[in-house]
Amino acid sequence: MTYAGAGHDAFTEAAIDDVFRFSSGAARLINKVCTHSLIYGSQNKHRIIDDHMIKRVIQGELA
């Protein structure tokens, strides 16, 4: 993330908790949720991915 120019964490602690709750630790699901969330955040010009965005991505694209 530092190499990409981010000087801060991209995900809040609550967002990380929601990702884990959804994925149960499965790497493929973690990658899918995080990738979709980063794309969604970029499109909507959010600098930090929060738990509300994670829930929206899970319900809208992965449910």
DSSP 49: B
Q: What's the rounded Cα separation, in Å, for the pair 41 and 23?
A: 20
pTM: 0.84
Q: What is the pLDDT of residue 6?
A: 73
| 42, 53 contact by CB (below 8 A) | no
pLDDT digits (tens, 9 = 90+) for 6-56: 778 899 999 999 999 999 999 999 999 999 999 999 999 998 999 999 999
Centroid of chain to Cα 47: 11
Report which residue type is found at 27: A
Q: Nearest 5°: phi and psi at 49? A: -90, 120
Other beta carbons within 10 angstroms of residue 45's beta carbon come to 6
